[in-house]
Amino acid sequence: MKSWLLHILVNAIAIIAVGTLFESIHIDGVGGALLAALILSILNAIVRPILVVLTLPITIVSLGLFLLVINAITLWLTDVFLGSTFEIAGFGMAIIAAIIISIINLILNSLIKDMK
């Protein structure tokens, strides 16, 4: 339970960072970022595995790069579910945001692992 909450907090920090980097991503404060992180975590647990299995041939041919598109789809679905609380202007921006969120998550998770 603690690691799941920590993961949501790390995702929220990454979402806030991306929201401050780009004007085309709108977040309604810290609460909106936490809600977006919660929805994104739920989508990553339920929808992402289904998308990975369905797109396995494309993912293999692209040497795993299609997983970035899947991450962008889950981020875009988060935008759809949250409406004006969390908005991304276009799918291209969702791909860029997914890449940056993944990088920030990687860095923060490695820092947390080193602290333990």
d(CA 75, CA 98): 7
The one-letter amino acid at 1: M
Asked whether the beta carbons of 98 and 72 are under 8 A apart, the reply is yes
In this predicted structure, the answer to whether residue 8 has a pLDDT above a threshold of 90 is yes
State the DSSP string of the chain.
-HHHHHHHHHHHHHHHHHHHH-TTEEE-HHHHHHHHHHHHHHHHHHHHHHHHHHTHHHHHHTTTTHHHHHHHHHHHHHHHHHGGGEEESSHHHHHHHHHHHHHHHHHHHHHHHHH-
Q: Which residue has the tokens 């990687």?
A: 106
Integer Cα distance of 57 and 66 in angstroms? 10
Q: What is the tens place of the pLDDT at every residue in 31-59?
A: 999 999 999 999 999 999 999 999 999 99
Mean of pLDDT values over 55-79: 94
Mean residue pLDDT across the chain: 92
Report the distance separating Cα 116 and Cα 41, nearest Å.
23
* % of the chain beyond a pLDDT of 70: 97
Contacts of 102 by beta carbon, 8 Å cutoff, 6+ apart: 68, 71
Question: What pLDDT shows up at residue 15?
Answer: 95
